Chain A
Amino acid sequence: MRIFAVGNSFYGDDGVGAAVLDRIREADIFPGACLFDAHTDALALLDRFTPGETNIIVDAADMGLEPGAVAAFRPAEVDMKIRSDHLSMHGFGLGETFAMAARLGSMPEDVLIVGVQPAQMEINTGLSEPVAAAIPQVLSLIEAEATE
């Protein structure tokens, strides 16, 4: 199993993926799982998706839900917004990465995204209360996927 985090941990709830990886490491919850924090370079995942393995991505996601709400979904189940008018390489996120992987045929079959609805994305604030409280639910969704 591979567990990836995407997001900038300096920007409040955008750091939820990194916080989940920290929790997994501290408590050694999924021994043997490969953990990787792509931070804001989502394209780095292209090299790390592994066919034949479970690839789980934890990211802050604007899903139109209550802050702290958690949802697990497959890429095909959602419409991920991609921007095509980038001014900078800094704008390439997970949506763009999936679009590229899909078109190149390098998208592994087994990808699960665990999205957490953020409450705030301000700099230097740490996780908000509802998002911090959502981490156990993220872990149980990963657990469920792992034992499936």
Chain B
Amino acid sequence: MSRNLDINVKHLTRVEGHGNIVVNMKEGTLEKAELQIVEAPRYFEAMLKGRSFHEAAIITSRICGICSLGHQLCSLKATEQALGLEVSEQTKLLRTLLTHGATLQSNVLHAYFLAAPDLLDVGSVFPLVESHPDVVVRALRMKRLANDIGDVVSGRAVHPITPVPGGFTRIPTEKELLELKRRLVEEMVPDFLATVETMQALAGKIPDFTRDTEYISLRADDCYALYDGDICSSDTGRVADSEYRAMTNEFIVPHSTSKHCKVNRSSYMVGALARWNNNHDKLNDVALDAAEKLGLKPNCINPYMNTIAQVVEAGYCALDSVAIIDKLLSDGLKNELPNQEPTRFGTGIGSVEVPRGILYHEYTYDRQARITAANCIIPTGQNLGNIDDDMKKLVPEIVEKSKEEITLTLEMLVRAYDPCISCSVHMLDVDFIE
């Protein structure tokens, strides 16, 4: 079909030039299909340079309220590696528990508040509040309990404060953990199973689009890697996280102020679908059962299924949180102090899986334990090239649809990645009613 198409969706007008979907087709030839979106936290290095090792994680956790915990844990890992601070097994378990809470919360909200409205064709979550209030209330109940994991383990959900370099300043009590476990078992698990049913009813509406790409995530031997692991490519296998620059290869593209990344192909995907593809063998039965019900199969190359992979992960996180609490309690909680005596001063790299994909922080410290250089690569930046490549394959396949349908299909694609608008402000926009 010889068609002219000009799509320009501006979503985030407060951040000029960002968050736009731009598609341009002339006489059937695709000239442009791009997502223009935010860059990694700008001035990241300037924010951290000269700061002490106590401050780095506090500062980076405030870059973004949504990704707060991921930045904090990644920052702590980078600092600990740079300064040679060993952390205990208990610290690792507690941090994994925190990661589960954050992943659970983000994945559930994304599925219910961003993806479900698309699949129900209602435009946004607000009509759902009236048509399916029980479902929205369930989503908020799950978000709250996921938040409470953060509250119990870290003192506060949005800006965790007790995790510090070398460990925790406060260890949760046995009573707190038992209550959390009770709620996970009695409230979260039934809510998760109901979520699978809800999503099962919608999964058939997920666009049938496939494009083979490279999937990059962490991978560990003993668990579904979220807090720790090697970097794993679906194309070339595992490397240590010290290789992160080679596994991101940031480069500049003309259409975006954000850098793009590529490794073995023109782009790669990070996030829940990448984790599923690389690590599905490490999931628990509840998650695998959900995957089967929702039609998520190994080596899935439909990016829209990222949402389904997020739902599957939510089940893993809920049940694994219970397992972690059991392990913490059977090992016996130790009131250990954080290990904050540096044994070296150098460069350290932190990598964690945050809901949107693999996140890297790298710091170099001087002998006063102050930062001299810092680098951060966020998952959304890594996904940008993959989204562009998806759009370039997708647009010609759906070109016979109406412009509105094409636009919606592209928006749904972008939403499936749940991009991080890390630089956004949240000013309230009001008009006084006269």
Contacts and interface: CB of A to CB of B under 8 A. Distances in A.
Given A39-B65, A103-B129, A104-B133, A47 B144 contact: yes
Interface residues of A, number: 53
A58 B63 CA distance: 19
A88 B431 CA distance: 24
Interface stretch (A25-33, A91-99, A134-142): A91-99
Interface residues of B, number: 54
Contacts of B123: 84-85
A113 B428 contact: yes
Contact of B63 (A10, A61, A93): A10
A123 B426 contact: no
A124 interface: yes
Contacts of B431: 64, 78-79, 81
B398 interface: no
A100 B136 contact: yes
A80 interface: yes
Contacts of A85: 11, 123-124, 411
Specify the main secondary structure of chain A where it touches its partner: mixed
Nearest to B64: A40
A100 B424 CA distance: 21
Contacts of B137: 104
Contacts of B370: none
Contacts of A88: 114, 415, 418-421
B79 to A, nearest CB: 20
Interface in A1-60: 6-11, 14, 37-44, 46-47, 59-60
A143 interface: no
A90 B420 contact: yes
Nearest to B355: A89
Nearest to A12: B425
Across the A-B interface, give the 5 residue pairs with the lowest CB-CB distance, nearest first.
A39-B65, A40-B65, A84-B124, A90-B421, A103-B129
Given A79-B431, A90-B66, A90-B422, 15 more contacts: A7-B426, A10-B47, A37-B158, A37-B159, A39-B65, A40-B64, A41-B65, A44-B158, A77-B432, A86-B415, A90-B424, A91-B11, A91-B424, A99-B126, A124-B43
Interface of A: 6-11, 14, 37-44, 46-47, 59-64, 73, 77-95, 99-100, 103-104, 113, 115, 118, 121, 123-124
